[in-house]
Amino acid sequence: MSNIDWANLSFSYIKTEYNVRSYFKDGQWSDLEETTSEQITMHMAATGIHYGQQSFEGLKAFKGKDGKVRIFRMEENAKRLQSSADGILMQAVPTELFTKAVVRAVELNLKFVPPYESGAALYIRPVLFGSGAKVGVSPADEFTFVVFVTPVGPYFKEGFKPTKQMISRQFDRAAPQGTGNLKVGGNYAASMKAGQMAHDNGYSSVLYLDSKEKKYIDEAGPANFFAIKGDKYITPLSNSILPSITNMSLIQLAEDMGLTIERRKVALEELATFDEVGACGTAAVISPIGQIDDIDEDKSYVFGDPKVAGEVSTKLYNKLRAIQYGDEADTHNWVTVL
Ligand code: PLP
Ligand code: COI
């Protein structure tokens, strides 16, 4: 598209041409519908809008030097959407329907996949919600599944430059036995006030501690947290964080690079011992963290040169991107080439 400034895209919505939809009704999913409408019509008593019975996913498609378009690990997003559906009693979208809808949404909008040189990507946003009417708190019997796409740049405007994050005990994103491990809208609603406060104070995001004891690191706003200490890749194990597909991939790449993986509770005090830390996710990719301010304790943690991404994070970032754009062999079979 001639009027899109590909190299300077931010993470925001740009209208594309088509989206695809399927409706669950009378016990079955409909054939995929292809539409140019950006609007959804639904019953005013839909459970999705009253009781937050909804879940979304986020994945990306990349254009390679060879002009081919690659979608990253979409089967994993299908599985996670099924797990979210299970967790809040929605009708799960079968993997085959999910992947077909994702591929179709990309195919119908090929001209919106950013060019290789721009370093941008096509963000794919599947969303599933209860569209059947209920007034009491109970699951809907009708569901709507939509996949739209939009070209995006980095989620954190700094891209692959370190940002500052903020710890505050004032806010919880998810309860210890709640829905933090599911990608449901309620978690994001719960994070908005904290996120706004972080932005207003010059931070890219809130770094959440575990809600029960406030002793361990949970995750970083819309991304998982990882740390590098010597030859170790360390990332929190917690029931209230989202199982990140990017983190899962980085763990594999770190292992391939000969690092030792530690997936365990990460105590807050350990921050002082880490060489590099970062946030990772589909939207964030890797966003290195240069400094973390614990505003309640009036304490700051600084990592290496807080203006420069660490060496291991840089290697991981380059490796992941190389696989996504098709510059390096996809030895783990993560990529679907259209
Ligand atoms: N944590 C939260 C709360 C997120 O919203 C996301 C984004 O999807 C992630 C982590 C990263 O997950 P993924 O790497 O699968 O995008
Ligand atoms: C993603 O990384 O895909 C996300 O969903 C993060 C955010 C936009 C909520």
Told to judge if 183 belongs to the known catalytic residues of this protein, a careful annotator would answer yes
Residue 103 beta carbon below 6 angstroms from any ligand 1 atom = no
Tell me, rounded to whole angstroms, the distance of Cα 75 from its chain centroid.
Answer: 15
Please determine, for residue 1, whether its predicted confidence score (pLDDT) is greater than 90. Answer: no
Give the model's pLDDT for residue 5.
93
Q: Where are the domains of the chain?
A: 6-152, 163-323
Of ligand 1's listed atoms, the one at least distance from the Cα of 173 is 3
- How far, in Å, from the CA of 136 to the mean position of ligand 2? 30
Give the model's pLDDT for residue 154.
84
Token digits for 247? 């983190």
Ligand nearest to C-alpha 73 = 1
User: Nearest Cα to 211, choosing from 239, 185, 183?
Assistant: 239
Give the model's pLDDT for residue 156.
81
CB 252 within 8 A of CB 224: no
- How far, in Å, from the CA of 323 to the mean position of ligand 2? 20
CB 223 within 8 A of CB 280: yes
Residue 336 beta carbon below 6 angstroms from any ligand 1 atom = no
Please determine, for residue 335, whether its predicted confidence score (pLDDT) is greater than 90. Answer: yes
Residue whose Cα lies nearest atom 3 of ligand 1: it is 222
Query: Cα separation of 265 and 216, whole Å?
Result: 6
Of ligand 2's listed atoms, the one at least distance from the Cα of 188 is 9
Q: How confident is the model at residue 309 (pLDDT cuts 50, 70, 90)?
A: very high
CB 28 within 8 A of CB 5: no
Ligand nearest to C-alpha 284 = 2
Q: Pick 163-323's CATH classification: 1.10.3720.10, 3.30.390.10, 3.20.10.10, 3.50.50.60.
A: 3.20.10.10
Residue 19 beta carbon below 6 angstroms from any ligand 1 atom = no
Long-range contacts of 227-231 (CB under 8 A, 24+ apart): 227/266, 227/270, 227/271, 227/274, 227/275, 227/276, 227/277, 227/278, 228/259, 228/274, 228/275, 228/276, 228/277, 228/310, 228/312, 228/313, 229/273, 229/274, 229/275, 230/275, 231/258, 231/259, 231/260
- Please report, rounded to a whole number, the percentage of residues in the chain having pLDDT higher than 90: 95
Residues 126-168 have pLDDT tens digits of 999 999 999 999 999 999 999 999 999 988 878 799 999 999 8
Give the model's pLDDT for residue 242.
98
Across all residues in the chain, what is the average pLDDT?
Answer: 96
Give the model's pLDDT for residue 159.
79
Please determine, for residue 323, whether its predicted confidence score (pLDDT) is greater than 80. Answer: yes
Please determine, for residue 2, whether its predicted confidence score (pLDDT) is greater than 80. Answer: no
CATH code of the domain made up of 6-152: 3.30.470.10
89's torsion region: left (phi>0), alpha (psi -120 to 50) or beta? Answer: left
Of ligand 1's listed atoms, the one at least distance from the Cα of 76 is 15
Tell me, rounded to whole angstroms, the distance of Cα 289 from its chain centroid.
Answer: 17
Tell me, rounded to whole angstroms, the distance of Cα 319 from its chain centroid.
Answer: 19
- Please report, rounded to a whole number, the percentage of residues in the chain having pLDDT higher than 70: 99
Query: Cα separation of 89 and 16, whole Å?
Result: 31
CB 244 within 8 A of CB 281: yes
Supply the pTM of this predicted model.
0.97
Token digits for 120? 């941008």
- Annotate 263-296 with b (16+ C-beta within 10 A) or e (fewer): eeebebeebeebebbbbbbbbbbbbbbbbbbbbe
- How far, in Å, from the CA of 3 to the mean position of ligand 1? 30
User: Nearest Cα to 193, choosing from 172, 175, 209?
Assistant: 172
Q: How confident is the model at residue 3 (pLDDT cuts 50, 70, 90)?
A: confident
User: Nearest Cα to 104, choosing from 40, 19, 38?
Assistant: 19
Please determine, for residue 187, whether its predicted confidence score (pLDDT) is greater than 90. Answer: yes
Residues 34-73 have pLDDT tens digits of 999 999 999 999 999 999 999 999 999 999 999 999 999 9
Residues 214-272 have pLDDT tens digits of 999 999 989 999 999 999 999 999 999 999 999 999 999 999 999 999 999 999 999 99
Query: Cα separation of 293 and 18, whole Å?
Result: 43
**Residue 309: how many other CB atoms lie within 10 Å:** 23
Of ligand 2's listed atoms, the one at least distance from the Cα of 60 is 3
- The catalytically annotated residue of 60, 63, 164, 183 is 183
- How far, in Å, from the CA of 282 to the mean position of ligand 2? 6
Please determine, for residue 320, whether its predicted confidence score (pLDDT) is greater than 90. Answer: yes
